[in-house]
Structure 1
Amino acid sequence: MIDLLSQLAAWLTSSGQWAGPEGIAQRLLEHVQYSFLSTIVAALIALPIGLFIGHTGRGAFFAINISGFGRALPTVGVVTLVFLASGLSMTPVYVSLIALAIPVIVTNTYAGMIAIEADTKDAARGMGMTGLQSLWRVEIPLAAPLIMTGLRLAAVQVISTATIAAYVSFGGLGRYIFDGLAQRDLTQVLGGAVLVAGLAVTVDLILAGVNRVLFRHRLT
């Protein structure tokens, strides 16, 4: 065990391991790119859905159940199906990661919206606000902490799962895990896993910090 840990430390700290087109720096950049784009697209799809059902109360049962179904989808299975339909490209990876991120964003956005007290909404209407004005000026600002939490959870899930890019022969930190398994190189497998976990934890801490800074007055 001690030998394995020392080999892992040497692997992670080797300057040669970080350089070049297959080095850690490049793989890390690829992983961040896959994760960032997937989370952004998922947010663009999920936020309007969550805001709509939270504001109007329409379609809540359908949307939440669809979100639950989305959580249950096996990511590798989705990758395989889309791969068979579209061929060798990053499309299956992006589709799978977006599908993974949408449910948690929809659910948290909806939860943030319905947590707003009815009296607050009534007060907004009493001040002469239209439904759209109430949504933008009152409801979204009040729901923002939970919405941000949903984005944070989605980002961490996507980062942890973006290793599947290597499953269809693309890059990212998953390359070390898949290549290590194929080569029976345990050090490389553990190195890839540590890097993915480290990236996920780092992003989680950063977004948690942003959440605290932006909404400090609501958390105290």
Structure 2
Amino acid sequence: MTGDGVLAQALRYLNDPLSWTAPGGILDLTGQHLVMSVLAALLAAAVALPLGAWLGHAGRGAAVVVALSNTSRALPTLAVILLLATAGLFGDTATVLAAALFAVPVLLVGAYEGVRGADPAARDAARGLGMPGGRVLWQVELPLAVPLLAAGVRTAVVQVVATVPLAALAGGGGLGHVIAFGMGTQRYGQVLAGGLLVAALCLVVDGLLALAQRFAVPRPLRARAAATAAR
């Protein structure tokens, strides 16, 4: 089969309304994909953000953060999903847990570096006013950490969206089902279409999060970052 033939099949698949609207079609699979991505991102954030913020505030745990980050890069995602499957966790559940596992280090590093890198003068001023540690973290360090926190969330969520297609290899849903079905039936145009759909979804999510990141960062911090970049 030629490359042109595969591309033509992919375009034909994507232009077929039934591919989108049929039960179990692209729209249904995209919904499943997004639900799994949101669950994985929320699970990772619930663990990583409080821990990273606390470690950054306490000024401890740099070695733990680095070790977790390096370990996550060494573990293959598919192997983790299959390992969870052997433990009785199949499909969507295994994928959500695996994607969350790999998102934790990204969020952890962003929270740790953001809080740890907060302006020391602002931190000292807050302590000089008699603020307890919890208020310093919540009212001073976390607002100043928003740029790195937002960047970490953006990176982690896009990574999760790109990882979720592996669910299809463990009996799960999501857009990976388009790719897996195409491979199983040797419809390589559908495989290409599935890859394009996943890539497009990642780009859309990244673009939306980029806008959210811009609005989440306070204007004075944006101005300071722009001035620093212009130097």
TM-score (norm 2): 0.90
Which residue type is aligned with residue 132 of structure 2? T
Equivalent positions of 1:19-168 (< 5 A) are 19-168=21-170
Structure 1 partner of 2:222? 219
What is residue 208 of structure 1 aligned with on the other side? 210
Bigger CA drift: 89-98 or 160-169? 89-98
Shift of residue 115 of structure 1? 1.5
Q: Aligned pair in 2 of structure 1 residues 216, 133: CA closer, same or farther (>3 Å)?
A: closer
* Aligned amino acid, residue 36 of structure 1: V
Give the structure 2 partner of residue 178 of structure 1: 180
TM-score after normalising by structure 1: 0.95
State which drifts further: 114-123 or 48-57: 114-123
In 2, the alpha carbon distance for the partners of 1:67 and 1:153 equals 14
User: For residues 174 and 120 of structure 1, what CA distance do their matches in structure 2 show?
Assistant: 47
Percentage of matched positions with identical amino acids: 37
Q: CA deviation at 1:63?
A: 2.8
For 1:75-123, what per-residue CA distance to the aligned partner results, in whole angstroms no more than 9, with x for missing partners? 1111111111125353321221111100100011111112212222111
Deviation at 1:2, TM superposition (A): 4.2
Any idea what the Cα deviations from partners look like across 1:8-40, whole Å, max 9, x if unmatched? Answer: 222112111111222100010010011110001
Q: Tell me how many residue pairs correspond in the alignment.
A: 220
Q: Measure how far apart 1:155 and its partner are.
A: 0.5
Deviations 1:200-219 (A, max 9, x none): 11010001011112226222
Write the distance in 1 (CA, Å) between the matches of 2:156 and 2:91. 23
Say which is worse superposed, 3-12 or 30-39, in terms of deviation: 3-12
CA drift of 1:128 comes to: 1.5
Whether the aligned pair in 2 keeps the contact of 1:71 and 1:103 (CA below 8 Å) is no
- List structure 1 segments (4+ residues) > 4 angstroms apart after TM superposition: none
Cα distance 1:141–1:216, how it changes in 2: closer, same or farther (>3 A)? Answer: closer
Q: Is the 8 A contact 1:79 1:96 kept in 2?
A: yes
Cα root mean square deviation, aligned: 1.4
Aligned to 2:227: none
Q: Show CA shifts across 1:168-192 (max 9, x none).
A: 1121000011111111111100111
Asked if 1 retains the 8 angstrom alpha-carbon contact of 2:31 and 2:174, the reply is: yes
* Whole-Å separation in 2 of the counterparts to 1:177 and 1:6: 16
Distance in 1, matches of 2:96 and 2:195, equals 20
